[in-house]
Structure 1
Protein backbone atom coordinates (compact mmCIF):
# COMPACT_ATOMS: atom_id res chain seq x y z
CA UNK A 1 0.00 0.00 0.00
CA UNK A 2 1.43 3.39 -0.98
CA UNK A 3 0.91 4.97 2.44
CA UNK A 4 3.18 2.53 4.21
CA UNK A 5 6.17 4.35 2.72
CA UNK A 6 5.50 7.63 4.54
CA UNK A 7 7.27 6.57 7.74
CA UNK A 8 10.31 5.59 5.68
CA UNK A 9 10.23 8.89 3.85
CA UNK A 10 10.09 10.79 7.13
CA UNK A 11 13.02 8.79 8.49
CA UNK A 12 15.10 9.40 5.35
CA UNK A 13 14.35 13.13 5.43
CA UNK A 14 15.15 13.20 9.12
CA UNK A 15 18.52 11.58 8.46
CA UNK A 16 19.49 13.51 5.35
CA UNK A 17 17.74 16.87 5.48
CA UNK A 18 18.08 17.49 9.21
CA UNK A 19 21.77 16.67 9.30
CA UNK A 20 22.42 19.56 6.93
CA UNK A 21 20.41 22.02 8.99
CA UNK A 22 20.50 22.50 12.76
CA UNK A 23 16.85 23.60 12.83
CA UNK A 24 14.96 22.18 9.86
CA UNK A 25 11.74 23.93 8.85
CA UNK A 26 8.85 21.73 9.97
CA UNK A 27 5.23 22.29 10.93
CA UNK A 28 6.15 22.74 14.59
CA UNK A 29 8.86 25.28 13.76
CA UNK A 30 6.33 27.34 11.79
CA UNK A 31 3.81 26.98 14.63
CA UNK A 32 6.32 28.78 16.89
CA UNK A 33 5.39 31.95 14.98
CA UNK A 34 2.07 33.32 16.36
CA UNK A 35 1.21 35.09 13.08
CA UNK A 36 1.73 31.90 11.04
CA UNK A 37 -0.19 29.89 13.66
CA UNK A 38 -3.17 32.21 13.26
CA UNK A 39 -3.09 31.67 9.49
CA UNK A 40 -2.79 27.91 10.00
CA UNK A 41 -5.70 27.81 12.46
CA UNK A 42 -7.90 29.88 10.15
CA UNK A 43 -7.20 27.42 7.30
CA UNK A 44 -9.35 24.87 9.12
CA UNK A 45 -12.45 27.09 9.07
CA UNK A 46 -15.22 25.12 10.76
CA UNK A 47 -13.31 21.82 10.45
CA UNK A 48 -11.86 20.54 13.71
CA UNK A 49 -8.07 20.61 13.94
CA UNK A 50 -6.73 17.12 14.74
CA UNK A 51 -5.59 16.77 18.35
CA UNK A 52 -2.64 14.58 17.28
CA UNK A 53 -0.92 17.62 15.69
CA UNK A 54 0.56 18.53 19.08
CA UNK A 55 2.83 15.46 18.99
CA UNK A 56 2.94 14.73 15.27
CA UNK A 57 5.77 13.18 13.32
CA UNK A 58 6.93 15.76 10.78
CA UNK A 59 8.87 16.01 7.56
CA UNK A 60 11.12 18.85 6.54
CA UNK A 61 9.63 21.60 4.35
CA UNK A 62 9.76 21.18 0.56
CA UNK A 63 9.72 24.03 -1.96
CA UNK A 64 7.43 23.87 -5.00
CA UNK A 65 6.26 26.30 -7.65
CA UNK A 66 2.56 26.80 -8.37
CA UNK A 67 1.41 29.21 -11.07
CA UNK A 68 5.00 30.41 -11.38
CA UNK A 69 5.21 31.40 -7.68
CA UNK A 70 7.22 29.71 -4.89
CA UNK A 71 5.33 27.85 -2.17
CA UNK A 72 6.32 25.72 0.79
CA UNK A 73 4.84 22.31 1.61
CA UNK A 74 4.77 20.81 5.09
CA UNK A 75 3.68 17.30 6.04
CA UNK A 76 2.83 15.88 9.45
CA UNK A 77 1.25 12.65 10.57
CA UNK A 78 -0.08 11.05 13.72
CA UNK A 79 2.77 9.54 15.71
CA UNK A 80 2.72 5.72 15.47
CA UNK A 81 -0.12 5.87 12.89
CA UNK A 82 1.31 7.83 9.95
CA UNK A 83 -0.30 5.65 7.32
CA UNK A 84 -3.79 6.53 8.53
CA UNK A 85 -3.69 10.16 9.73
CA UNK A 86 -1.84 12.89 7.84
CA UNK A 87 -1.98 16.58 7.06
CA UNK A 88 -0.25 18.45 4.26
CA UNK A 89 -0.01 22.25 4.09
CA UNK A 90 0.82 24.37 1.03
CA UNK A 91 1.51 28.06 1.61
CA UNK A 92 3.26 31.24 0.61
CA UNK A 93 3.24 34.67 2.26
CA UNK A 94 -0.35 35.36 1.12
CA UNK A 95 -2.24 32.05 0.98
CA UNK A 96 -2.45 28.78 2.89
CA UNK A 97 -4.14 25.54 1.83
CA UNK A 98 -4.34 22.11 3.36
CA UNK A 99 -5.35 18.49 3.02
CA UNK A 100 -6.33 16.29 5.93
CA UNK A 101 -6.10 12.60 5.07
CA UNK A 102 -7.77 9.88 7.13
CA UNK A 103 -8.12 6.14 6.52
CA UNK A 104 -8.02 2.88 8.46
CA UNK A 105 -5.63 -0.05 8.22
CA UNK A 106 -6.28 -2.13 5.09
CA UNK A 107 -9.15 0.12 4.01
CA UNK A 108 -9.65 1.10 0.38
CA UNK A 109 -11.51 4.22 1.51
CA UNK A 110 -9.68 7.53 1.92
CA UNK A 111 -11.29 10.52 3.58
CA UNK A 112 -9.86 13.72 2.11
CA UNK A 113 -10.74 17.04 3.73
CA UNK A 114 -9.60 19.96 1.58
CA UNK A 115 -8.87 23.05 3.66
CA UNK A 116 -9.26 26.60 2.34
CA UNK A 117 -9.39 25.42 -1.29
CA UNK A 118 -11.24 27.92 -3.48
CA UNK A 119 -11.60 28.19 -7.22
CA UNK A 120 -8.12 29.45 -8.10
CA UNK A 121 -4.97 27.63 -9.14
CA UNK A 122 -5.02 25.75 -5.84
CA UNK A 123 -8.18 23.91 -6.88
CA UNK A 124 -6.21 21.81 -9.40
CA UNK A 125 -2.45 22.24 -9.01
CA UNK A 126 -2.68 22.84 -5.27
CA UNK A 127 -4.72 19.69 -4.74
CA UNK A 128 -2.22 17.78 -6.88
CA UNK A 129 0.69 19.02 -4.77
CA UNK A 130 -1.07 18.35 -1.45
CA UNK A 131 -2.10 14.82 -2.42
CA UNK A 132 1.41 14.15 -3.76
CA UNK A 133 2.78 15.11 -0.33
CA UNK A 134 0.43 12.61 1.32
CA UNK A 135 1.39 9.77 -1.04
CA UNK A 136 5.12 10.50 -0.92
CA UNK A 137 5.36 11.38 -4.61
CA UNK A 138 6.37 14.97 -3.83
CA UNK A 139 9.32 13.75 -1.75
CA UNK A 140 10.35 11.16 -4.33
CA UNK A 141 10.09 13.53 -7.32
CA UNK A 142 10.20 17.16 -6.11
CA UNK A 143 11.34 18.42 -9.53
CA UNK A 144 7.99 17.32 -11.00
CA UNK A 145 6.14 19.92 -8.92
CA UNK A 146 7.31 23.09 -10.63
CA UNK A 147 4.13 24.41 -12.27
CA UNK A 148 4.66 27.44 -14.54
CA UNK A 149 2.37 30.45 -14.74
CA UNK A 150 -0.92 29.61 -16.46
CA UNK A 151 -1.55 31.40 -19.75
Structure 2
Protein backbone atom coordinates (compact mmCIF):
# COMPACT_ATOMS: atom_id res chain seq x y z
CA UNK A 1 0.00 0.00 0.00
CA UNK A 2 2.82 2.41 0.82
CA UNK A 3 4.32 1.73 -2.60
CA UNK A 4 1.03 2.72 -4.26
CA UNK A 5 0.84 5.90 -2.18
CA UNK A 6 4.42 6.74 -3.16
CA UNK A 7 3.62 6.33 -6.85
CA UNK A 8 0.55 8.54 -6.54
CA UNK A 9 2.51 11.18 -4.62
CA UNK A 10 5.29 11.22 -7.23
CA UNK A 11 2.75 11.64 -10.04
CA UNK A 12 1.13 14.55 -8.24
CA UNK A 13 4.47 16.23 -7.60
CA UNK A 14 5.77 15.73 -11.15
CA UNK A 15 5.97 18.96 -13.17
CA UNK A 16 3.20 19.05 -15.72
CA UNK A 17 1.34 16.11 -14.20
CA UNK A 18 -1.75 18.27 -14.00
CA UNK A 19 -2.44 21.63 -15.59
CA UNK A 20 -2.54 24.44 -13.07
CA UNK A 21 -6.06 25.76 -12.69
CA UNK A 22 -6.30 29.45 -12.00
CA UNK A 23 -9.03 30.99 -9.92
CA UNK A 24 -10.35 34.49 -9.36
CA UNK A 25 -8.23 34.89 -6.22
CA UNK A 26 -5.14 33.95 -8.28
CA UNK A 27 -6.04 36.64 -10.80
CA UNK A 28 -6.59 39.43 -8.28
CA UNK A 29 -3.26 38.65 -6.59
CA UNK A 30 -1.50 39.81 -9.76
CA UNK A 31 -0.88 43.54 -10.26
CA UNK A 32 -2.85 43.53 -13.53
CA UNK A 33 -5.79 41.60 -12.08
CA UNK A 34 -5.93 43.72 -8.93
CA UNK A 35 -5.90 46.92 -10.97
CA UNK A 36 -8.63 45.62 -13.31
CA UNK A 37 -10.83 44.57 -10.35
CA UNK A 38 -10.36 47.93 -8.63
CA UNK A 39 -11.42 49.71 -11.82
CA UNK A 40 -14.39 47.35 -12.23
CA UNK A 41 -15.61 47.85 -8.67
CA UNK A 42 -15.09 51.61 -8.48
CA UNK A 43 -18.33 53.55 -8.13
CA UNK A 44 -20.27 50.29 -7.72
CA UNK A 45 -22.28 48.94 -4.80
CA UNK A 46 -20.81 45.46 -4.48
CA UNK A 47 -20.37 43.24 -1.41
CA UNK A 48 -16.94 42.94 0.22
CA UNK A 49 -16.81 39.13 -0.19
CA UNK A 50 -16.04 39.68 -3.88
CA UNK A 51 -12.66 41.16 -3.00
CA UNK A 52 -12.01 39.15 0.17
CA UNK A 53 -12.94 35.78 -1.31
CA UNK A 54 -15.75 33.44 -2.06
CA UNK A 55 -16.31 29.92 -3.27
CA UNK A 56 -14.40 29.69 -6.54
CA UNK A 57 -14.46 27.64 -9.71
CA UNK A 58 -11.43 27.24 -11.99
CA UNK A 59 -11.20 29.71 -14.87
CA UNK A 60 -12.38 28.75 -18.32
CA UNK A 61 -11.20 30.25 -21.60
CA UNK A 62 -13.59 31.59 -24.22
CA UNK A 63 -13.05 33.52 -27.43
CA UNK A 64 -15.05 36.61 -28.33
CA UNK A 65 -14.40 38.35 -31.66
CA UNK A 66 -10.94 36.80 -31.92
CA UNK A 67 -9.79 37.70 -28.39
CA UNK A 68 -9.32 35.14 -25.62
CA UNK A 69 -10.90 35.83 -22.25
CA UNK A 70 -10.67 33.99 -18.98
CA UNK A 71 -14.02 33.53 -17.26
CA UNK A 72 -13.94 33.42 -13.48
CA UNK A 73 -16.89 32.75 -11.20
CA UNK A 74 -17.26 32.97 -7.45
CA UNK A 75 -20.16 32.99 -5.07
CA UNK A 76 -20.80 34.14 -1.52
CA UNK A 77 -19.71 31.54 1.03
CA UNK A 78 -22.70 29.72 2.55
CA UNK A 79 -25.03 31.51 0.13
CA UNK A 80 -23.97 30.43 -3.37
CA UNK A 81 -27.51 30.11 -4.66
CA UNK A 82 -28.30 33.72 -3.90
CA UNK A 83 -25.14 35.76 -4.59
CA UNK A 84 -22.80 35.11 -7.48
CA UNK A 85 -20.14 37.08 -9.32
CA UNK A 86 -18.55 36.31 -12.68
CA UNK A 87 -15.93 38.16 -14.70
CA UNK A 88 -14.49 38.07 -18.18
CA UNK A 89 -10.83 39.08 -18.18
CA UNK A 90 -8.59 39.70 -21.16
CA UNK A 91 -4.90 39.78 -20.26
CA UNK A 92 -4.14 41.07 -23.77
CA UNK A 93 -6.61 43.95 -23.53
CA UNK A 94 -6.16 44.35 -19.75
CA UNK A 95 -9.94 44.59 -19.53
CA UNK A 96 -12.39 43.13 -17.03
CA UNK A 97 -16.17 42.97 -17.32
CA UNK A 98 -18.51 41.43 -14.80
CA UNK A 99 -21.90 40.34 -13.59
CA UNK A 100 -23.10 40.45 -10.00
CA UNK A 101 -26.22 38.32 -9.62
CA UNK A 102 -28.51 38.34 -6.60
CA UNK A 103 -31.46 36.02 -6.16
CA UNK A 104 -34.26 37.03 -3.80
CA UNK A 105 -35.38 33.85 -2.03
CA UNK A 106 -38.81 35.23 -1.18
CA UNK A 107 -39.78 36.57 -4.61
CA UNK A 108 -37.59 34.21 -6.68
CA UNK A 109 -36.42 37.18 -8.73
CA UNK A 110 -32.93 37.76 -9.95
CA UNK A 111 -31.21 41.12 -9.97
CA UNK A 112 -28.41 41.43 -12.51
CA UNK A 113 -25.77 44.14 -12.17
CA UNK A 114 -23.67 44.38 -15.34
CA UNK A 115 -20.21 45.90 -14.94
CA UNK A 116 -18.11 47.45 -17.71
CA UNK A 117 -19.75 45.65 -20.62
CA UNK A 118 -18.17 47.25 -23.68
CA UNK A 119 -19.81 47.50 -27.08
CA UNK A 120 -17.32 44.88 -28.28
CA UNK A 121 -18.63 42.37 -25.74
CA UNK A 122 -22.28 43.44 -25.70
CA UNK A 123 -24.66 40.49 -25.90
CA UNK A 124 -21.96 37.80 -26.27
CA UNK A 125 -20.20 38.93 -23.11
CA UNK A 126 -23.45 39.08 -21.19
CA UNK A 127 -24.38 35.60 -22.42
CA UNK A 128 -21.04 34.18 -21.27
CA UNK A 129 -21.20 35.87 -17.87
CA UNK A 130 -24.74 34.68 -17.22
CA UNK A 131 -23.76 31.17 -18.36
CA UNK A 132 -20.93 31.23 -15.82
CA UNK A 133 -23.37 31.96 -12.98
CA UNK A 134 -25.91 29.36 -14.13
CA UNK A 135 -23.45 26.51 -14.68
CA UNK A 136 -24.08 26.36 -18.44
CA UNK A 137 -20.52 27.46 -19.23
CA UNK A 138 -19.07 24.61 -17.15
CA UNK A 139 -21.42 22.10 -18.73
CA UNK A 140 -20.97 23.28 -22.34
CA UNK A 141 -17.67 25.20 -22.53
CA UNK A 142 -17.24 25.00 -26.32
CA UNK A 143 -20.72 26.41 -26.93
CA UNK A 144 -19.64 29.85 -25.68
CA UNK A 145 -16.88 30.72 -28.15
CA UNK A 146 -17.90 33.53 -30.48
CA UNK A 147 -15.70 34.33 -33.49
CA UNK A 148 -15.84 37.42 -35.64
User: TM-score, length-normalised on structure 2?
Assistant: 0.81
How far off is 1:146 after superposition?
A: 1.1
Q: Secondary structure at the match of 2:101?
A: strand
Gaps of at least 5 residues in structure 1 are 1-18
Where has structure 1 moved over 6 Å in runs of 4 or more? Answer: none
1:41 aligns with 2:21: no
Q: Distance in 1 between matches of 2:69 and 2:60?
A: 8
Contact 1:72 1:91 in 2 (8 A): yes
Which of residues 60, 82, 85 in structure 2 aligns to 1:84? Answer: 82
Structure number with bigger Rg: 2
How far off is 1:52 after superposition?
A: 1.6
Q: Secondary structure at the match of 1:139?
A: helix
Who is 1:26 aligned against?
Answer: 23
Q: Secondary structure at the match of 2:109?
A: coil
Contact 1:45 1:116 in 2 (8 A): no
How far off is 1:106 after superposition?
A: 5.2
The number of equivalent residue pairs is 129
Gaps of at least 5 residues in structure 2 are 1-16
RMSD: 1.6
1:134 aligns with 2:98: no
Higher strand share: 2
User: TM-score, length-normalised on structure 1?
Assistant: 0.79
Q: Distance in 2 between matches of 1:56 and 1:124?
A: 26
Contact 1:64 1:146 in 2 (8 A): yes
Using CA pairs under 8 Å that are at least 6 residues apart, name the structure with larger relative contact order, 1 or 2: 1
